[in-house]
A = this chain, B = another copy of it.
Amino acid sequence: MSTSVDHEASTYTVIFQPSGRRGRVSPDQSLLEVARDLGVELESACGGNGKCGKCRVRIESAVDDRAVGEIVSPPTDAEEQLLGPTALADGLRLACQTHARGDLRVFVPVESRRADQVVRKAAGDRTVPLDPAVKCYRVALKPPTLHDPLADAERLQAALAEQHGVTDLTFDLEALRALPGVAREAQWELFVITWQGGIAGGCIVDIRPAADPGHVLGLAVDVGTTTVAAYLVDLITGEVLATESAMNPQVAFGDDVISRLYHALHNDDGSRELQETLIAEVNNLARRAVESRGAAPEDIYDVVMVGNTAMHHLFLGIDPHSLGTAPFTPAVQGSIDAKASLLGLQFNAGCRGHILPVEAGFVGADNVAAVIAEEPYKQDEAILIVDIGTNGELVLGNRDRMVSASCATGPALEGAHIEFGMRAAPGAIERIRIDPETLDVQFKVIGLEGWSTEHPAEEIGARGICGSGIIEAAAEMAKAGVILTGGGFNPDLTHERVVLEDGRPRKFMIAKPEETAIGRAITVSLKDIRSIQLAKGALRAGAEILARTYGVEKPARVLLAGAFGSYIDKHRALEIGMLPSVEPEQVVTVGNSAGDGARFALVSVEKRREAEWVARNVEYVELATDQDFQAEYMEAMYF
């Protein structure tokens, strides 16, 4: 098809408004075809078959006052039905049904322009244009005859090329199996679901009747060591339909990554066991999410997964054994596309899984996801992204360069391996104030309004201290002189809240026994303080090494990502020297960036390409072999 024909006499000039694009057209082309040839964005959901009514345009004569009826073909039945007499009298027509019979102007109203749909980040204002790997098309096929006996599959491929300009699609076996039956039942009016997330071509993954296409959904999965979160997304609108999360069921095999690697390594079926238990939970979350929206797991056609390197390997069922010993090499770094069914996911048979790439042994796909969500590579200033989990992952950079590192913070900042540490759940102490004069303590407990001092002791019911509470405790204990800058207890201190062991101060009491629900005092020990020192020291030293590597004194902004980043009081984090010494207003909490990045990759193949680029182009700094790291680390442990 072309916009010019041999017989000049039988062609007309068409000008599209407001774009101003123009061309000469022959009467056998519909105005929709002309619009496509000229690159005019015009909505059409039915592939130009006069079914959807979305390609309405307003016709006017380009040169004289001739009535619309004289310069275009007469209205079809479809137009009579979809537009009605008033609109038709008003010059409105369906572009797919209308052919030029004279020179004319075509106004494309706003509602007919193909929208540049965008998907928004949960926190912040960043958006991404909707361009998922799973793309759907409505096509109407001519039924085969003895004189036109082209096979169903080739007939569909030809129609996709003709009606949508989509070529080079092969068939998934399952789609091929479905095609003959669905095509005949649906009287050759089909809704075709494709996956086009690869480099070349793509696949037809499912065929549905155009009259009843149903849901086309995707799932973004963020697998944390502790928590698994799943976002159910409508792949046609980009809308997040449901969010579900649950504890990572692998905690049954160990709280931290190392104990899971140990399990995988020392049990014959260890990796498989860890994979299956994780996948079962993802299947559960997906089932809950789709059921909440009246859909089915078979409506899920695409899954994006992010996670740290160990979660990444265990999700894929790859032996994570090389991650556990030096040189800590991952099995694979690049992104992976695989049939979701091969992973054990019980979604549509044609569903794909896309696993974001990892950067290095300890900088995983979750970090890559955070980077594509925050896009430092599109910014002028050097930005530091801090994602604190069992490891602290750091990325520093801008459009010129990005450097990353992983700090072995240990689980202290998550409240683990702390004597009274607990998750950020009801009963957890999350805020603490210590009077420097009297050493009186007041604290806030999750689930309880206001400060502990506002309630009778027996109503407080504290159960432990969560990660942000630990930071508060350390900051306040340092400020009040309970601990010295080196982290040790002030040996000269005597106070009812200071617990002695062998005559030396060893613990500080935050909650008295009567203020807790556990029948005894909640204290912070020297060992706890040491854990925090190691964690914050590692993080700060890592940030300093990155700044030095990058060549900047300190970052222009610090983004705190992840759940811990949301709970933490940035002032306290700055006080105890956990973060580079920037001003508090330069520290921003950005929410679950890894989850945002997973959602972005789910709805945008461009974001997948960015992730691939990020994984290859972020320079990984191996702190363990950095000459300055130990010195920085020692210094950064001081309060």
Give the chain B neighbours of A184 by CB distance below 8 A: 322
* A316 touching B173 in the complex, CB below 8 Å, given contacts A149-B361, A327-B144: yes
Q: For the complex, is A7 an interface residue (Cβ under 8 Å from B)?
A: no
A119-161 interface (Cβ within 8 A of B): 144-154
A–B Cβ pairs within 8 angstroms, 28 of them? A144-B322, A144-B329, A146-B327, A146-B328, A146-B622, A146-B625, A148-B327, A149-B328, A149-B329, A149-B361, A150-B329, A150-B333, A151-B331, A151-B333, A151-B358, A152-B330, A153-B331, A153-B333, A154-B333, A154-B334, A173-B317, A173-B338, A177-B316, A177-B317, A177-B318, A180-B318, A199-B200, A199-B201
A176 touches which one: B171, B173, B181, B318 (CB < 8 A)? B318
Query: Are B149 and A332 touching (Cβ within 8 A)?
Result: no
Q: For the complex, is A624 an interface residue (Cβ under 8 Å from B)?
A: yes
A155-181 Cβ-contact flags toward B at 8 Å (1 or 0): 000000000000000110100110111
Assembled-state Cα–Cα distance A321/B152 (Å) = 12
A30-44 interface (Cβ within 8 A of B): none
Give the size category of A's interface with B: 35 or more
A231-289 interface (Cβ within 8 A of B): none
Task: Please give the distance in Å from A234's CB to the nearest CB on chain B.
Answer: 27
Query: Are A152 and B329 touching (Cβ within 8 A)?
Result: yes
Query: Are A176 and B332 touching (Cβ within 8 A)?
Result: yes
Stoichiometry (number of copies): 2
A597-635 Cβ-contact flags toward B at 8 Å (1 or 0): 000000000000000000000000010110000000000
Q: For the complex, is A336 an interface residue (Cβ under 8 Å from B)?
A: yes
A146-B625, A184-B322 known, 8 other contacts, Cβ within 8 Å = A146-B326, A149-B329, A152-B332, A153-B331, A173-B317, A177-B317, A199-B200, A200-B200
A332 touches which one: B151, B200, B329, B360 (CB < 8 A)? B151
A342-379 interface (Cβ within 8 A of B): 342-343, 358, 360-361
Q: For the complex, is A319 an interface residue (Cβ under 8 Å from B)?
A: yes
* A332 touching B171 in the complex, CB below 8 Å, given contacts A149-B361, A180-B321, A181-B319: yes
Give the chain B neighbours of A181 by CB distance below 8 A: 319, 321
Task: Please give the distance in Å from A385's CB to the nearest CB on chain B.
Answer: 22
Query: Are B146 and A331 touching (Cβ within 8 A)?
Result: no
Assembled-state Cα–Cα distance A151/B321 (Å) = 13
Residue from A144, A177, A199 whose CB has the most chain B CB atoms within 10 Å? A177
Assembled-state Cα–Cα distance A223/B329 (Å) = 47
A454-497 interface (Cβ within 8 A of B): none
Assembled-state Cα–Cα distance A63/B173 (Å) = 63
Write the chain B residue with the least CB distance to A152: B331
Give the chain B neighbours of A145 by CB distance below 8 A: 327
Give the chain B neighbours of A152 by CB distance below 8 A: 322, 329-332
What are the 8 A-B residue pairs with the smallest beta carbon separation, nearest first? Answer: A153-B332, A151-B333, A144-B329, A151-B330, A146-B327, A180-B331, A173-B338, A152-B331
Task: Please give the distance in Å from A483's CB to the nearest CB on chain B.
Answer: 35
Assembled-state Cα–Cα distance A321/B179 (Å) = 11
A40-77 Cβ-contact flags toward B at 8 Å (1 or 0): 00000000000000000000000000000000000000
Give the chain B neighbours of A147 by CB distance below 8 A: 625
Give the chain B neighbours of A330 by CB distance below 8 A: 151-152
A319 touches which one: B180, B200, B321 (CB < 8 A)? B180
Assembled-state Cα–Cα distance A200/B198 (Å) = 12
Task: Please give the distance in Å from A151's CB to the nearest CB on chain B.
Answer: 4
Write the chain B residue with the least CB distance to A320: B180
Write the chain B residue with the least CB distance to A362: B149
Query: Are A360 and B327 touching (Cβ within 8 A)?
Result: no
Query: Are B329 and A173 touching (Cβ within 8 A)?
Result: no
Assembled-state Cα–Cα distance A204/B326 (Å) = 26
Query: Are B153 and A334 touching (Cβ within 8 A)?
Result: yes
Task: Please give the distance in Å from A171's CB to the nearest CB on chain B.
Answer: 7
Task: Please give the distance in Å from A621's CB to the nearest CB on chain B.
Answer: 12
* A336 touching B154 in the complex, CB below 8 Å, given contacts A179-B331, A622-B149: no
Give the chain B neighbours of A343 by CB distance below 8 A: 173
Assembled-state Cα–Cα distance A342/B176 (Å) = 13
* A336 touching B173 in the complex, CB below 8 Å, given contacts A145-B327, A180-B322, A327-B146: yes
Assembled-state Cα–Cα distance A145/B622 (Å) = 12
Task: Please give the distance in Å from A357's CB to the nearest CB on chain B.
Answer: 10
Give the chain B neighbours of A151 by CB distance below 8 A: 329-333, 358
Task: Please give the distance in Å from A251's CB to the nearest CB on chain B.
Answer: 24
Assembled-state Cα–Cα distance A317/B144 (Å) = 22
Give the chain B neighbours of A144 by CB distance below 8 A: 322, 327, 329
Write the chain B residue with the least CB distance to A328: B149
Assembled-state Cα–Cα distance A201/B326 (Å) = 33
Write the chain B residue with the least CB distance to A620: B149
Give the chain B neighbours of A199 by CB distance below 8 A: 200-201
Write the chain B residue with the least CB distance to A343: B173
Assembled-state Cα–Cα distance A441/B208 (Å) = 64
